[in-house]
Structure formats: C-alpha cells, structure tokens
Amino acid sequence: MNTQIFSLKSILATTLFSAALALSSCAAPAPTAAPTPAAPPANMTLATTTSTNDTGLLAAILPDFERQYNAKVKVIAVGTGQALKLGEDGNADVVLVHARAQEDDFVAKGFGINRRDVMVNDFIIVGPTADPAKVKGEALAAPALRKIAEAKANFASRGDNSGTNTKEKDLWKISAVTPISSTTGWYYAVGQGMGETLTFANEKAAYTLTDRGTWLAQKNRLPNLSIIVGGEKVVQNTDPALQNPYGVIPVNPAKHPNIKANLAEQFAVWITSPATKQKIALFGVEEFGQALFRPL
Amino acid sequence: MSDPIIYRLHDIAKSYRGRSAPAVLVPGVMEIRRGEICVIVGPSGAGKSTLLRILGMIEPPTTGWLMFDNQRYDANTQPALSYRRRVVYLFQRPLLLSQSVYDNVNYGLRVRGIKDEQNRVQRAIAQVGLQHLTHANTRTLSGGEAQRVALARALVIEPDILLLDEPTANLDPANVEVIERVIRERNQQQGMTIVLVTHNLFQARRLAQQVGLMLDGKLIEYARASAFFESPVDPRTSAFIRGDMIF
Amino acid sequence: MLWSVILLSLQVSGLALFFAAFIGVPFGAWLALTRFRGRSIILAVLYTFMGLPPVVVGLMVYLLLSQTGPFAQLQWLFTTNAMVMAQAVISTPIVAGTVMAAVSGVEPDLRRQLLSLGATPLRAMWDVVFEARFGVLLALVAGFGRNISEVGAVMLVGGNIEGFTRVLTTAIVLETRQGKFDLAVSLGLVLLGLSFLVNGLLLILQTRTNGIWRAV
C-alpha cells in the first residue's frame, strides 16, 4: 500500500514538474543543456561487444555519464555482428564495437552516423605453454599462424563473426592459409564467446586469438595456456595488425524515429572527451598491473 | 494318475490383513475328483473366488495346505511351473490383450513354446463360435464375445483342470448357452476336471456332478449333486436352495 | 553445411535416445510393476530428474570429462560422445517416467491372468509392457523431442564446433548472436519440422494400427 501511494505521489510530482517546466519555458528563455536532477533518468540502450563489458571497463566509466546526463544506460553485450544488427533494427541507440570494415559498411548503409575512434586494445595469440608448433619468438601474427598451420597444431576460432573472429580471418588471409573447420582437421570454429573459446583451447591444447583484456581477466583459470605472440604488455605488441580500434556510432534517427538521438550523440561526445579518455587509460592498472585499453 | 482325487484341501484358511474373519475357511479335508464338474455356489462375497484362486495356485492359503496331484501348495511352497501350467483359471472379468482374437487364443501355446498349432487354435475359436472374428482386434468385441475368447484361450491349452469364476455373469442367454455347452463338451470328451464358481443355482443344477455351498467364507455343505439338491444336510442349504435366503 | 548440421542433430539425439530407451524403458516398466520399500523415494528422485535443467546436466558431464575431471582420459569433451552422454542423461528420466505411467495404466489384473495362462513372470511382465506399447512409443517420442530441442547441455559439452559438434539448436544460438535472424529462423523452422515429422509419424502409426483393428 505504501509503495503504491508513494508511486502515485511521484507520478503526480513528475506531472506537476513537467507542467511547471512547460509553463516556464513559455515565459522564460530555454533552460540550459543539463537537466534538473529531479527529473527521472532517460533510458538509453548501448549495444557493444562482450570485451568492453566482460573486462569491467563499462562498469568503471559509465556511472560518470549516467550522473552527468541523468541517463540510465542499458548495456547489451553481444558479438560485433549482433551489436550492429541491434543498431540496424533500431533496438539500440548507440553501438560501441571493433570491426572497422563492418562499421564503415554500417555507416555507408545509413544505419549509423558519424563514427568516431574511441580507443584501441590489442589482440594476442595464446596457446599451449609447451608450444608444439614452435611459434614463440615470432613478433608478427600472420607468420605465426602459418607455422601453426604447417605443424597442424590445434587452433580454436571464435567462428561467430565477432570482431575478434573478423580479425582472425584477416590474419589468416595475410598468412595465405585458408583453414575450414569441418575438413582441415586441426581448426575448430567454436561458434561461441571468447571465454568459451579460451576454455576449449585450454582443454584441447589449442592456439587461439584473443583480446588481451579477456585474457588478463581469465588467465587464472587457464593453466595450460600462455601468451605466444604479442608480448606480456600492450607496449610490447609490435604487430600493427594486432591493434584493435574501437569505434562509437550513434544510430541514425532518420531510419528509426524512436531512437534517443540526443542522448546517443551526447554519449559519443562524452566517451571521446579528454576526461573519459583519462579514465580509460587508467582502467586495469590497479587490477592487472597494466592498462587494457589505449584511448585514441 | 491312478488316484481318482486330483485336489485335496487340508484345513485351508485364508485371511487378509485388516480383516478379522477369514475370507475362506474349509475345515477338515475337501476333495475334488478327477474328471468331474464341481460347482461352488453361494451368495456374492461368500469367499468362492478366493477358494478358486487357491485351487488355481494364484494365491496361497494363510494356513493349511493344498495337495494337487501329490504336489503340496501352501504359504511357503510354490508349485513348479509345470504343475501350475496344468491348471487354467478363467477370471470373472477376463482381460484380453489388445491384439487379434487369434493371438489371444494362441497365447497359452506361445508361452509354452508350442508353435505351428494353427488348427488347434482355430478349433478352440470355432468351439466358442467366433470363427468370423478370428482376426478382429479384441477391442472391438462385445462382453459376451470377449468372455468366449477368454474361454477359448483357456481351452486351447487343454489343461487338466479348468477353473471358472462366474463365467456367465451378466451375459445374455445365447452366450450363456454357448459357454455351458463348451464346458460340458470338454468335460465329456476330454475328461477335463472343471471347478466352477457361480451364484446361479440353476447353472449349478445344469452342470454340476459335485456341489459345494459357501456362506460367509465357510464351506457348509459339499455333496454329490443329487444329494445336495434333494437331501441337504445343513438347514441353511435347504434355505438357499428354496431361495429363502435374504442377502 | 545445413544438411550436415541436421544429420548430426539426428545422429546425436537418436543415439542418446537409444541409450535412454535401453535404460529407461526397463526401469520404468520395473517401477510400474513392482512394489517395494523405498519405491516412493525412487519415484520422487525420478520426478525431480524429469525436470532436471539441461544446463545442470551439461555442467556435470563437463566436470566429469574435463582435463581436471575423473574421465579426462576418455578425451570426450567437445566431441559428439559427450553430447550423446548429456542428452542420454537428460532424456532417460523422461523415458522412464513416461513408460512407468503408461505401464501403470494397464489393468493390474492382466499380469495375474497371463500368469494363470502359464506365462513365466518375466514373460507376463513383457506382455504387460507390450500392452502399453503406444505409451512406450510416446515416451520415446517425448525423449527424442527433449533431446533434439535441448541446447544448454550440448553447447557446454559439445562446444558448437563447426563440422564437429554443431547441431541445430547451437547453430540457432550462434546465428542469433550474429544477428543473422533469417538464418536462425529457418533453422528453427527445420527444428520445428523435425518435431512435427516425428509426431506425425507417431500419429500415422497409431491410426494405422487402429485402422487394421477396425477393418476386420
């Protein structure tokens, strides 16, 4: 009973408040951009890849945005493919992903507007500590993959068209090997997330391509694996092909009128602002002893 | 086989848990002769079926024992399968398998490993007058037809003893006629021993050579048919025959 | 590609059903036909297992087969063997429970009557189960339906590896995650079609046998 009365009260208060606001906006000049804190927060949906969520980055930086703009951000962490699809269908207001070609295509088709660079993290190749394909020492990913293929050592692929999977396919293209899951024999397209693919690699003594953030967060439960290519720290990764840039793209409100276009644009501006960049640069130092992302 | 007595019951009593009075009490010795039709009459609930189940070696007696062709059957002794197979019990409410009439009648032969006895099966079906339904599924049969299939299913085995529990209850006269004819034929042609339980005194008169009357679980009169109907010993028997008994 | 996924789904679920039937049918029949101390406890466990969440089964099988598990030497993790194992564990209680219900539905007196016709106890039991054959068939269909539509356990222990352990349900999850909803929906329709086919087959079987009975 109490809660009901309370909610009735708050609805009443909100109605009165907006009525007052409407009146005042007639009489006085428009209020400033920052809304009054008493207004209920606006919901916004962010479709992003699992890496930003699973590493804990979003949990660390989002409260700042929500406070500043009186917003509530609903995070849907999925593969890049599905994240872009969510934007395409108008089920998300803004996307934060890392698959440059697909992102450009998304913008070119008019589903998103004004892509901006946010940050990079890097990919590494991890594999069995015994390194059966003798890859260790290789600085570049493509020749390393070649060696794995020549040794017919097990390789676990995400196989889900995610950003990581797209990157892996690009690297195979450079290495001039075309492995196919069903026929190659040592190449396994797992078709699941990074965590599951790492688990598979750990169980089956396989190499795999992973983003460093997921690796650092999960390496304690993967006793059979270690870093083979990419170095122990981001700065030691000398292969430009292993760099992984993230972009933020607000969904085009012209395609879907119910999109929260203003808030989405504010989010894009906020996440590329110097203050947020500072936070991104510091994220992970405390927990893993190194930064997981480098702001652009 | 020379012993003219096939069943000897010695002080048989059967009690069920939670009931004070025994369901069946046959003090002393009761004998059933080989090759006879023995009819047990009595009102419903008198324990006739329970006695028949003991004869069929389906339920052991609580106390006392049964000698079947010199094989002992009591609470602790189970008869060998070969002995059990010489007796067939036709239940008051026979249950048939949802298969064809032929398969049902053939069942007793099949479980005995007797194969290729089509004629025997056909003959049994013909004897109960159901040739036209040989391949029908039993689900499509009427109550009377089902009862006749059950009889054929019992007869095909050609058992030494056939135990019948109210085989004609709730049947129309035509079906009753068929079943009684078959019982008489088998008894006369093959010397099959038949023990039949009924509440129908007229049926007992038509078929019985030996008659027993059960009241409240006790066998109170057991005699040749002529003696039973004409000069009963127990006054309750006279009352039952006259139809004076109110149940 | 699509055909191999469908074929693998049928193979895995069919094989799992075979094992489930091998254990579940006799067990269910036994539970229906015998009375003993502790039977109600077994029934309670069986009913619980009938509703066992597949993911939990997947987790158990995973832990058994993992490199750190007791059966690591089998090298079954992320193979179809593991998937068959998980699905068999999931569908055995369903088969057993449904068979039990079906056999319990047969008139209890039938067994006594068959015994009196000279059947051995085992033979009489078998014929009572055969009398419930339609219910047994239904149990098998229910088990197969559960197997083929199950996703949580096979995803965990099979790993959804293309060309090796990818089946219809895990493929649907993958395509949905990639936002390829049209493909996911078509795969879903295939799955639905398979279920319909199996149930239709059962229906035909039922009406056909009934038809024979009615014809004569």
Where do the structural domains in chain B lie, given as residue ranges?
87-158
CB within 8 Å: C179 and A82:
yes
Q: A201 and A257: one domain?
A: no
C213 chain-B contacts, CB cut-off 8 A: 136-137, 139-140
Six-digit token string for C131: 């009398």
CA angle B33, C114, C141 (to 5 degrees): 175
Q: A129 and A234: one domain?
A: yes
Q: Shortest CB distance from A189 goes to which of C67, C77, C161?
A: C161
On whether the CB atoms of residues A122 and A292 are closer than 8 A, the answer is no
Measured between its terminal Cα atoms, the distance across chain B in Å is 42
Q: A129 and A185: one domain?
A: yes
The pLDDT, as a whole number, for residue A126 is 97
Task: Give A290→chain C minimum CA distance, Å.
Answer: 30
Closest residue in chain C to residue B153, using alpha carbons only: C117
Q: Which residues numbered 186-225 in B keep a CB inside 8 Å of some CB on C?
A: none
Six-digit token string for A279: 């936070």
Other CB atoms within a 10 A radius of the CB of residue A31 amount to 11
Please report, in tens digits, the pLDDT of each residue of chain A (296 residues total): 344 444 444 444 444 444 444 444 444 444 445 555 567 888 899 999 877 887 889 999 999 999 999 999 989 888 888 899 889 988 999 999 988 889 999 999 999 999 999 998 899 999 999 999 999 999 999 999 999 999 999 999 999 888 889 899 999 999 998 888 877 889 999 998 888 999 999 999 999 999 998 898 889 889 999 999 999 888 788 899 999 889 999 999 998 888 999 999 999 999 999 999 999 999 988 888 888 888 98
> Interface partners of A (3+ CB pairs, < 8 Å)?
C
DSSP state of B100: B
Give backbone dihedrals phi and psi of A142, rounded to 5 degrees, phi first.
-60, -50
Q: Which domain holds residue A151?
A: 122-243
On whether the CB atoms of residues B203 and B26 are closer than 8 A, the answer is no
The pLDDT, as a whole number, for residue A51 is 78
**What are A127's strand-pairing partners?**
A226
Taking the Cβ of residue C215 and every Cβ of chain B, the question of whether any pair is shorter than 8 Å is answered with no
Q: Shortest CB distance from A200 goes to which of C159, C162, C171?
A: C159
The pLDDT, as a whole number, for residue C211 is 44
Q: A51 and A192: one domain?
A: no
Burial grade of C117 (CB within 10 A; 0-12, 13-18, 19 or more): buried
Cα-atom radius of gyration of chain B, to the nearest Å? 18
The pLDDT, as a whole number, for residue A117 is 94
Cα–Cα dist A98/A111, whole Å: 16
Cα-atom radius of gyration of chain A, to the nearest Å? 23
- Of A222, A243, A264, the one marking the end of a domain is A243
Task: Report the DSSP pairing between strands A42-49 and A71-78.
Answer: parallel
Annotate C77-97 with b (16+ C-beta within 10 A) or e (fewer): bbbbbbbbbbbbbbbbbbbbb
Q: Could you give the 3-state DSSP secondary structure of residue A101?
A: helix
Q: Could you give the 3-state DSSP secondary structure of residue B218?
A: strand
Please report, in tens digits, the pLDDT of each residue of chain B (247 residues total): 568 899 999 999 998 887 777 888 888 899 999 999 999 999 888 889 999 999 998 888 999 999 998 888 988 887 788 888 999 999 988 999 999 999 999 999 999 998 878 899 999 999 999 999 999 999 889 888 999 999 999 999 999 999 999 998 878 898 899 899 999 999 999 999 999 999 889 999 999 999 999 998 899 999 999 999 999 899 999 888 887 665 4
Q: A256 and A239: one domain?
A: no
Residue A175 lies in a domain: yes
On whether the CB atoms of residues A95 and A87 are closer than 8 A, the answer is yes
Q: A156 and A223: one domain?
A: yes
Q: A288 and A154: one domain?
A: no
DSSP state of A187: E
Q: A112 and A256: one domain?
A: yes
Taking the Cβ of residue C216 and every Cβ of chain B, the question of whether any pair is shorter than 8 Å is answered with yes
Q: Could you give the 3-state DSSP secondary structure of residue A109?
A: coil
CB within 8 Å: C180 and A81:
yes
The pLDDT, as a whole number, for residue B2 is 63
Residue C81, CA distances (Å) to A157, C15, C19, C108 in order: 21, 10, 12, 40
Cα–Cα dist B47/B21, whole Å: 11
The single-letter code of the amino acid at B21 is A
> Interface partners of B (3+ CB pairs, < 8 Å)?
C
Task: Give C170→chain A minimum CA distance, Å.
Answer: 8
Burial grade of B17 (CB within 10 A; 0-12, 13-18, 19 or more): exposed
Residue A6 lies in a domain: no
On whether the CB atoms of residues A106 and A188 are closer than 8 A, the answer is no
- What percentage of chain B reaches a pLDDT higher than 90? 58
Residue A185, CA distances (Å) to A181, C80, C164 in order: 7, 15, 10
A224 chain-C contacts, CB cut-off 8 A: 67
CB within 8 Å: C114 and B107:
yes
CB within 8 Å: B95 and C109:
yes
The DSSP string of chain C is -HHHHHHHHHHHHHHHHHHHHHHHHHHHHHHHH---TTHHHHHHHHHHHHT--HHHHHHHHHHHHSTTSTTGGG--TTSHHHHHHHHHHHHHHHHHHHHHHHHHTS-THHHHHHHHTT--HHHHHHHHHHHTHHHHHHHHHHHHHHHHH--HHHHHHH---TTTT--HHHHHHHHHHTT-HHHHHHHHHHHHHHHHHHHHHHHHHHHHHHHHHHH-
CA angle A17, A21, A25 (to 5 degrees): 175
Q: A181 and A213: one domain?
A: yes
Question: Which ipTM score applies to this complex?
Answer: 0.87
C67 chain-A contacts, CB cut-off 8 A: 202-203, 224
Taking the Cβ of residue A131 and every Cβ of chain C, the question of whether any pair is shorter than 8 Å is answered with no
At B114-148, the pLDDT tens digits run: 887 889 999 999 999 999 999 999 988 988 899 99
Number of residues written out for chain B: 247
CB within 8 Å: C161 and A196:
no
Residue A15 lies in a domain: no
Quick one: B87-158 is in which CATH superfamily?
P-loop containing nucleotide triphosphate hydrolases (3.40.50.300)
CA angle B128, B131, B135 (to 5 degrees): 120
B112 chain-C contacts, CB cut-off 8 A: 118
pTM for this predicted structure: 0.76
Cα–Cα dist C124/C119, whole Å: 6
Taking the Cβ of residue C212 and every Cβ of chain B, the question of whether any pair is shorter than 8 Å is answered with yes
Residue A16 lies in a domain: no
Sheet holding B161-165, edge to edge: B71-73, B63-68, B5-14, B24-33, B218-224, B210-215, B37-41, B193-198, B161-165, B87-90
A96: domain CATH number is 3.40.190.10
The domain total for chain A is 2
Measured between its terminal Cα atoms, the distance across chain A in Å is 52
Task: Give B13→chain C minimum CA distance, Å.
Answer: 21
The pLDDT, as a whole number, for residue A296 is 85
> Interface partners of C (3+ CB pairs, < 8 Å)?
A, B
Weakly modelled stretches of chain C, pLDDT under 70: 208-216
A188 chain-C contacts, CB cut-off 8 A: 78, 159, 161-162, 164
Q: A286 and A148: one domain?
A: no
Ordered domains of chain C (ranges, CATH): 2-215 (1.10.3720.10)
Cα–Cα dist C32/C39, whole Å: 10
